[in-house]
Structure 1
Amino acid sequence: MPGTFEPLPGGGASVALDDVEISIIRSLAVQLLELIGPGPAEDAPADPLAELFAEGPSEPPSDPVLKRLLPDAYRDPETPGTPREAAEQRAHSAEFRRYTENDLRAGKRENALAVIHSLNALAPGGEGPAVLELTPDESRRWLGALNDLRLAIGSRLEITDEDDTDDFYRLPDEDPRKPMVMAYLWLGGLQETLVSTLLP
């Protein structure tokens, strides 16, 4: 899957994607949306003021992928300190999460939706790959979504450090992790080339 982003004149980026690549990215983005979940007021009456002051959860999510996507702000597992310091960190993290997690989830949902909408706008099944062209703002949304997808897959693969990926290059084809590893590495390549298009 050789698709790489290239800069467009005047800003933005383009990438050629075949039908399989489009299908993979769309499927992963939809799964990410399902994981993040609906917004806090999506099943409530339309009240912008209520949504503005809606509080989020104070406890970290139990799913390890969501923990990676929505990490604690103040807790440092490497240096927990005294029990009192650890309790203070938990309290600060809970307070921070209560007022920021809803917005963080909303941003991740918007990024994933931007990916899906831009892929849906491509002309279906022509000769050769389709060329996706993104504005600078769409490029930033794609970058956020690609990062979230890699974090999610990396969490499922239990990757804690980029150095952990070295062994994945040598996985045998029959290893059940192989498709997920290939997606992780491919998305990393896409992410890296997209970053380069956004640099001045």
Structure 2
Amino acid sequence: MSTAFRRARGGGVTASFHTAEVELLRSLVGQLLELVRDTPEQKEGDDDGWAAALGLADDDTPKRPTDPVVLRLFPDGYQGDDEAASDFRRFTERGLREAKAGMAATVLASLATAEGVDPGERKSREKTRVELNAEEADAWLRTLTDLRLALGTRLGVSEDDEDQWLSLPEDDPRRHIHDVYDWLGWLQETLVRTLSAGLP
């Protein structure tokens, strides 16, 4: 079982995770990374290289996501104004995707560092202690938020519906996923509390 985030000696924050939890986090963050990196291919025949590079070409405008999870991660900037929402997405989505991907990659790298191996390799260990500096802690906080948004959207979680999930049979896969959703929320809460405690 993981421990709550707490202040580490010499600054930063730390938490310990069981091997199975590390594997779960690695899997979830890896899937999130693929999701936010999954951008539409550029259309062929775009001869305005400068406009494309700056995200200003007409053919470069991202489509509104059809996957509800992706739409939750990259929501419309304007409601009831399709043109304004499209322009907002055109100028912001690429940068948002890159930022989320960078945060997720930082989480994966910190997990690998904690295990004493290069990213992509695995090492059997009962407990893994993660130590994060301020930048890494911010990446964890943002990535945990994105993971909960993704899982919550996929499950259809709503406010004050805890009893509904607790009433599911123990062998119902939705209950297991909701348990993971709750666990991520607990990690997020302990990280926020620890970071807030260090503020003046």
The TM-score by the shorter chain falls in which range? Answer: 0.7 to 0.9
Tell me, in whole angstroms, the C-alpha distance in 2 between the residues paired with 1:61 and 1:180. Answer: 24
Q: Is the 8 A contact 1:40 1:51 kept in 2?
A: no
Q: Where do 1:40-189 residues align within 5 Å?
A: 53-55=54-56, 57-75=61-79, 86=80, 89-123=81-115, 124-126=123-125, 128-161=126-159, 163-189=160-186
Q: Residue 40 of structure 1: CA displacement? A: 7.7
Q: Is the 8 A contact 1:122 1:130 kept in 2?
A: yes
Report the count of equivalent residues: 181
Match for residue 78 of structure 1?
A: none
Cα RMSD, aligned residues only: 2.4
Q: Deviations over 1:5-43 (max 9, x none)?
A: 11224542100011100000000011111111256899x
Relative contact order (C-alpha < 8 Å, sep 6+): which is higher? 1
Runs of 4+ in 1 over 6 A off after TM superposition: 39-42
Query: Amino acid of the residue matched to residue 169 of structure 1?
Result: L
Change (3 A) 1:38 1:62: closer
Task: Compute the TM-score of the two structures, normalised by the length of structure 1.
Answer: 0.81
Match for residue 187 of structure 2?
A: 190
Query: Amino acid of the residue matched to residue 125 of structure 1?
Result: S
Q: Deviations over 1:84-143 (max 9, x none)?
A: xx3xx22111111100000111111011111111111123333x4111000011000000
Give ranges in structure 1 of 5+ residues lacking alignment.
Answer: 43-48, 76-85
The alignment partner of 1:122 has SS state of helix
Tell me, in whole angstroms, the C-alpha distance in 1 between the residues paired with 2:94 and 2:178. Answer: 30
